[in-house]
Amino acid sequence: MTLYGLTAFALVYALAVATPGPGVAAVLARAIGHGAQGAAAFIAGFLVGDLLWLTCAVSGLAVLAKSAYGVFVAVRYLGAAYLLYLAWRLWRASPGTLARPPRGAAERSWRLFLGSLALTLGNPKTMVFFLAVLPSVVDLRRLTLLGYGEIGLVIVCVLPAVLGSYTLCAARARARLSQPATVRWLQRGTGAVMAGAAVAVAVTR
């Protein structure tokens, strides 16, 4: 790819990742609830999901995505269910519980990874970008293996940087909250946003 084309993709992709949606809501909710604990595994799921969507778009599997619509609907509902689970955890947890690091965090890393992966694969915004927006930025018919690697490298650099920034900001805001009543209000408000995002994921066609 040309430097211009790669830069254009990087800018468009960064905007797409930073745009508020189910993924950003999930990252913020987890950071508010647990700080930076488990953030690496959680963000890794989004990263792998985006790389899978990139591979689908580059290899011409957009047609398969349409023909196997039932599978993608199931994945979308799984992602919505995970958002509802996060919302329920935020709504039910006490401020003192969330202030303590969760036990067995290492053992649950794979759950965080699979949860964010399912959310990415079923996120309509991600589908739209890689199956519709990406071809308007990158000429997939002329994309070489090297070009594919370059785009993948951009994704590997941009997505963790953007979602990591969201995580750090939310974790710092959480660390500065000292009043349990304020923490509970923030948890439940974020939980409500998460539940709304789950509904949006489930009903979007």
Chain-centroid distance, C-alpha 97: 25
180: which 2 tokens?
A: 């349990």
pLDDT in tens, 113-133: 988 888 888 776 787 778 767
The backbone torsions φ and ψ at residue 204, rounded to the nearest 5 degrees and listed phi first, read -70, 135
Which of 22-31, 86-95, 186-195 is predicted most confidently? Answer: 22-31
Is residue 161 scored above 70 in pLDDT?
Answer: yes
- Give pTM, 2 decimals: 0.69
Task: List the single range of 33-47, 157-171, 176-190 with lowest mean pLDDT.
Answer: 176-190
How far is 170 from 35, CA to CA, in rounded Å? 7
CA distances, 101 to each of 37, 43, 50, 114 (Å): 7, 18, 29, 21
Residue 47 has pLDDT above 60, yes or no: yes
Per-residue H/E/C for 169-186: HHHHHHHCCCCHHHHHHH
Mean pLDDT of 183-191: 66
Report which of residues 185 and 152 the model is more confident about: 152
Q: What is the spatial distance between Cα 13 and Cα 9, in angstroms, rounded to a whole number? A: 6
Average pLDDT of the chain, as a whole number: 75
**Does residue 98 surpass a pLDDT of 50?**
no
Domain coordinates in residue numbering, the chain: 3-203
Local structure of residue 1 (DSSP, 8 states): -
How is residue 20 annotated by DSSP? -
- Torsion sign over Cα 182, 185, 188, 192: negative
Rg (CA), the chain: 18
Place of tokens 């949006």: 200
CA–CA separation, 128 vs 2, rounded Å? 24
In the numeric block, which tokens belong to residue 173?
């805001």
